[in-house]
Amino acid sequence: MILDKHNPKELINNSTYSKELKAIATKVFNDERISFEEGVLLYKEAELGFLGTLANYVREKKNGNYVYFNHNFHVEPTNVCVYSCSFCSYSRLIKNRDQGWELSIEQIMDIIKKYDDKAVTEVHITGGVVPKQDLAFYTDLFREIKKHRPDLHIKALTPVEFHYIFKKAKLSYEDGLKLMTEAGLDSLPGGGAEIFDEAIRDKIAGGKCSTDEWLSIHEIWHNMGKYSNATMLYGHIETFEHRIDHMDRLRKLQDKTNGFNAFIPLKFRNKENEMSHVPEVSVIEDLRNYAISRIYLDNFPHIKAYWAMIGRNTAQLSLNFGTDDLDGTIDDTTKIYSMAGSEEQNPKLTTQELVDLIKTVGRTPVERDTLYNVVKEFAS
Ligand code: V47
Ligand code: SF4
């Protein structure tokens, strides 16, 4: 059945939906929070049209017709890693380090300097974990970047890297994060979250920071008055209950700190990794997942469709299923997703391409900075 876009409450009078689904719709339209069990029910029973209508309602209430993007680029200091997550197509084990790259501070500064005459606002720095890239390496790097370009927002490292680096330096998370901030770190990206259920996490990402450690580092960071994102790796061996459990732990932390800006679902891509036998989920499932995350995470301001991972076409479609952010221009500076099999083998979009992509679905493009301050609104 085609629903009237302007009257989403039709869902409640529609006889094709069960009374349980209608009860969820009523809650959402009354701005009430849905429960864990209701979240799982949405995954198990709700079809895409129903989810899209609810998610779009929440999305437009929070962000109107706006779709955000930024001018950014990535630096991946190394693809060598002491860990061996089974979903990772990108890293090379430390014993095979001759097959990978490990950049020096000078080499990274050469990349940063390439953007001297470009209007980028953010550098996103993350990669593998190696002993050499330690506390001194990153604090020196952040100082160098800020000395060269004080206006560039440094969004860098995840609890996976922090946990390893601070343990090696015999520092508490609080003291370590304070030193990183003093050196120039501005925000944390959402990586390393994978899936919080301990048993699944152990199977696919054993050995790296635990769920509690991931959440604790973000909590400490938020308590320092800073902001971060959160991801969820979905579509592998997890169940729907595990996805809601993941979002539930984030929703609880956000209730305490209000420090998360965006939630970023990351679709498991299966090219050339130890989980290549696990099939990828469908685009319909991607859209359902975006929609349910928009409905469940009622205290997250933004849901990001990371186009370099999901592909620009699905990212564009998702703008009617709860998402309001597309990440940025990227400029072909990340390899994590192309190596894992994304349709975007050289991720790079110009401002005009992003603006056109957003306008095609009738939304209003807004260039933002990392903290969602408006840089420029593009009239629709
Ligand atoms: O933590 C690695 C994921 C993440 C695969 O905060 C994979 O703005 C799918 O966190 N299939 C790193 N996913 C990327 C990340 C990120 C990206 C864009 C924006 C932001 C932000 C954060 O990439 C890892 C892991 O979950 N990943 N391999 C794979 N085969
Ligand atoms: Fe290392 Fe990150 Fe890859 Fe895991 S996902 S092996 S921590 S680079």
**Which tens digits make up the pLDDT trace of 68-121?**
999 999 999 999 999 999 999 888 776 677 778 899 999 999 999 999 999 999
CA distance 199 to 162: 22
Q: Is 264 in the pocket of ligand 1 (CB under 6 A)?
A: yes
Query: DSSP secondary structure string, 70-134?
Result: E-EEEE--BSEES---TT-SS-EEGGGGGGS-B--HHHHHHHHHTTTTS---EEEE-----TTS-
pLDDT tens-digit map of 31-51: 999 999 999 999 999 999 999
Residue-number span of the structural domain to which 203 is assigned: 63-377
What mean pLDDT is reported for the chain? 93
- Let me know how many helices (H) and strands (E) the chain has, helices first: 16, 12
Q: In what order do the strands lie in the sheet with 66-70?
A: 325-328, 66-70, 364-368, 374-377
Tokens 């209000």 correspond to what residue?
258
Are 84 and 93 contacting, i.e. CB atoms less than 8 angstroms apart? Answer: yes
150-174 residue pLDDT tens: 999 999 999 999 999 999 999 999 9
- Is 50 a domain residue? no
* Residue 66 pLDDT > 80: yes
Could you tell me if the CB of 85 is within 6 A of ligand 2? yes
The answer to whether residue 204 sits within a structural domain is yes
Domain containing 356 — which CATH number? 3.20.20.70
* Residue 123 belongs to some domain of the structure: yes
pLDDT at 125 over 50: yes
The pLDDT value given to residue 253: 98
Q: Within a domain: residue 5?
A: no
In a domain, 77, yes or no: yes
For ligand 1, atom 8, which residue shows the shortest CA distance? 189
pLDDT at 9: 74
Q: Give dist(CA 334, CA 308) in Å, integer.
A: 9
**Alpha carbons 41 and 94: distance in angstroms, whole number:** 43
Centroid of ligand 1 to alpha carbon of 65 (angstroms): 27
Number of domains comprising the chain: 1
Residue 104, domain member (yes or no): yes
State the distance from the centre of ligand 2 to the C-alpha of 209, rounded, in angstroms: 11
The pair of structure tokens assigned to 218 is 């973000």
Q: Which pLDDT does position 343 carry in this prediction?
A: 82
Instruction: Determine if ligand 2 sits within 6 Å of the CB of residue 340.
Output: no
**pLDDT (mean) for 194-207:** 97
Q: What mean pLDDT is predicted for residues 285-305?
A: 98
pTM of structure: 0.96
Residue indicated by tokens 């080499």: 107
Please indicate, yes or no, if residue 154 is contained in any of the structural domains.
yes
Under the banding of pLDDT at 50, 70 and 90, the label for residue 20 is very high
pLDDT of 1 reads 40
Side-by-side strand order, sheet with 153-156: 72-75, 122-125, 153-156
pLDDT for res 5: 53
Work out the burial of residue 246: count CB atoms within 10 Å of its CB; fewer than 13 is exposed, 13-18 middle, 19 or more buried: buried
Give the whole-angstrom CA distance, residue 70 versus residue 365: 10
Quick one: which ligand is closest to 83's CA? Answer: 2
Other CB atoms within a 10 A radius of the CB of residue 18 amount to: 11
Residue 6 has pLDDT above 70, yes or no: no
Say if 335 falls within a structural domain: yes
